[in-house]
Structures are given as structure tokens and as C-alpha cells.
Amino acid sequence: MGAKKLGRPTDNPKDITIKIRFDKNTAEMLEECSEKMNVSRAEVVRRGVQKMHEGLPK
């Protein structure tokens, strides 16, 4: 049995996977955001969820 390969330690592991479906327009907007912000598509989605959550009524 091989040893588990360890990556860079993190305080916030990303261990939950979510599969979503986009229409073509939304996928293109996601890709454009990713390229212009120089971050991954996953990071764009995480930031979008955070912004939406911050806008919720308290």
C-alpha cells in the first residue's frame, strides 16, 4: 500500500465536490470572470456564494 501524497498544508481544505449545470451564457460569464480576475473558476464561484451570503437579510 502506497503512502498518501501530502500537498501544501491548509487551514481551509476544499474537500467537498459539487457538480452543477450551466447554460452556455452563464458558463461564458464564469470563464470571462476567471480569466480577467486570474483565479480558478471554482474561486469565482466561491466568491459569488460569499457575496450572495453577505447580502442575505440578518
| pLDDT tens digits along 23-39 | 999 999 999 999 999 99
Task: List the domain boundaries for the chain.
Answer: 31-58
Residue 2 has pLDDT above 70, yes or no: no
**Is the pLDDT confidence value at 21 over 60?**
yes
**pLDDT at position 10:** 84
For the chain, give the DSSP string: -PPPPP----SS-----------HHHHHHHHHHHHHHTS-HHHHHHHHHHHHHHTS--
Q: How much is the pLDDT for 1? A: 55
pLDDT in tens, 4-16: 667 778 888 888 9
pLDDT surpassing 90 at residue 22: yes
